[in-house]
Amino acid sequence: MTDEYRIEPGSKVDLRKLPTRDDALFDGDKEEGLARLDALGREIAERQRRLFAEDRHRVLIVLQGMDTSGKSSTIRDVFRYTNALGLHAVSFGKPSEEELERDYLWRIHAHTPRRGEIAIFDRSHYEDVTVVRVLDLVPKKVWKRRFDHIRRFEEMLADEGTTIVKLFLHISKDEQAEQLRERIEDPSVRWKFNPNDLTARAAWDDYREVWEDAIGETSTKDAPWYVVPADRRWYRKLAVATILRDTLGALDPTYPKVDEDLTPYLEQL
């Protein structure tokens, strides 16, 4: 199980000191890295097949990161070979009126994984302790107590059999500029450009600080955060795939054993 990039419970997190570009998990070049990613994708698919067949464990993956950090393309490429029927991917955008009528964990809990399933959250309940602070959507008294709710919510999920992995895709401000420039200049990704991203970018340090708090407050033994260097796209995917492969590996799902002799059924064919 890789400890690389895992945030120890109780740590004080300073994102400026954590790498956005690294080679600790793989020091080859891009071409070799993509080949490795491909192999990891196949391993993840095989482990997911067993997880589904065994119908015992639940897995929850939380993906967060600043705008343009590559959450959706990471999901696409890491699960390239995985059967979609065993996955439950969901994006959490701004809460709807309906959702705001309820407590902030209501919409989250509705999407936690079934047995045998891997749920992937593109954004999550962590928006409720980060963006809400930067945009001043809820008073301090309200967001502050949420850290404790979240720790206990995740503890409950873990106690009930859910393995939780939380990944923060860590990009530099320069890399974000590069990605936004590409969105403006490249017609095939222009649809992704949202001028609001520039407003969020202007508040980069505010976002950095609220994320440092959120990660430090909620990285626990059963629901650890990993801060993944994400400036190089292929390395980011490779690192996420390694962490997930190891997580699924530690669960060691196995195909159910069938003791019955099935050969008599052959006669019915």
Residues in binding contact with ligand ATP, number by CB under 6 A = 14
DSSP letter assigned to residue 252: -
Letter for the amino acid at 123? R
Q: Which tokens is 182 given?
A: 């590409």
Task: Say whether residue 213 binds ligand ATP (CB under 6 A).
Answer: no
Give the nearest distance from C-beta 268 to ligand ATP in angstroms.
51
| Segment interacting with ligand ATP (CB under 6 A) among 3-11, 67-75, 214-222, 236-244 | 67-75
For the bound state, the minimum distance from the C-beta of residue 105 to ligand ATP, rounded and expressed in Å, comes to: 10
**Closest CA relative to residue 135, chosen from 185, 77, 195, 210:** 210
Per CB under 6 A, does 128 bind ligand ATP?
yes
**Which of 28, 30, 83, 91 touches ligand ATP by CB under 6 A?**
91
**First CA to last CA distance, the chain:** 45
- Give yes or no for residue 127 binding ligand ATP (CB under 6 A): yes
Following DSSP, what letter does each residue of 196-245 receive, concatenated? HHHHHHHTHHHHHHHHHHHHHHH--SSS-EEEEE-SSHHHHHHHHHHHHH
* Residue 138 CB, nearest approach to ligand ATP (Å): 9
The two structure tokens encoding residue 70: 């590559």
User: Closer to ligand ATP at the Cβ: 108 or 238?
Assistant: 108
Q: Verify binding: residue 57, ligand ATP, rule CB under 6 A.
A: no
67 binds ligand ATP (CB under 6 A): yes
- The vertex-202 CA angle with 201 and 208, nearest 5°, equals 65
190 binds ligand ATP (CB under 6 A): no
Q: Is 175 in the site for ligand ATP (CB under 6 A)?
A: no
